[in-house]
Amino acid sequence: NAGVTQTPKFRILKIGQSMTLQCAQDMNHNYMYWYRQDPGMGLKLIYYSVGAGITDKGEVPNGYNVSRSTTEDFPLRLELAAPSQTSVYFCASRGRRVRDTEAFFGQGTRLTVV
């Protein structure tokens, strides 16, 4: 049971570099999400997707991009990394039925921008 898998677990970037955080789920979930968690704060929604080919902005989308070419994968792209993007990033997914209230989370990616 893999669930939601995120890679890498840790990464250090220099200011201005770019990278892609990978997220894959094997539960055939329609909904997928990217959150960031800053110290002492709750999770903030960056982007979300309600199905393959459909993505939309969350609360804090600036500096990020996403794509959803398949049901399984939902990569998050950081262009021109900035220190303000130092955070822990979580990917999550959930099913599309009304009773699918639970979201399943990956283990997180700890990103430091220096």
Partner 1 sequence: GNSVTQMEGPVTLSEEAFLTINCTYTATGYPSLFWYVQYPGEGLQLLLKATKADDKGSNKGFEATYRKETTSFHLEKGSVQVSDSAVYFCALSALDTGRRALTFGSGTRLQVQP
- Note the residues at the interface with partner 1 (CB under 8 A): 31, 33, 35, 40-43, 45, 48, 50, 56, 58, 90, 92, 94, 98, 101-103, 105-108
Report CA-CA distances (Å) from 84 to 16, 23, 78, 80, 112. Answer: 12, 22, 12, 11, 9
Closest distance to partner 1 from the beta carbon of 49 (Å): 9
Give least dist CB 100 to partner 1, A. Answer: 9
Give percent helix, percent strand, percent coil of the chain, each to the nearest 5: 5, 50, 45
Q: Residue 28 CB, nearest distance to partner 1 (Å)?
A: 16
Nearest to partner 1 of 17, 103 (CB atom): 103
Report the candidate in 105, 110, 86 with the shortest Cα–Cα distance to residue 94.
105
- The residue among 92 and 113 lying less far from partner 1, judged by its C-beta, is 92
User: CB count, 10 Å around CB of 109?
Assistant: 22
Cβ-based nearer residue to partner 1, 14 or 39: 39
Distance separating alpha carbons of residues 44 and 47, to the nearest angstrom: 10
Neighbouring CB atoms inside 10 A of 18's CB total 10
Instruction: Pick between residue 31 and residue 67 the one whose CB is nearest to partner 1.
Output: 31
As measured in angstroms, the least distance from the Cβ of 77 to partner 1 is: 19
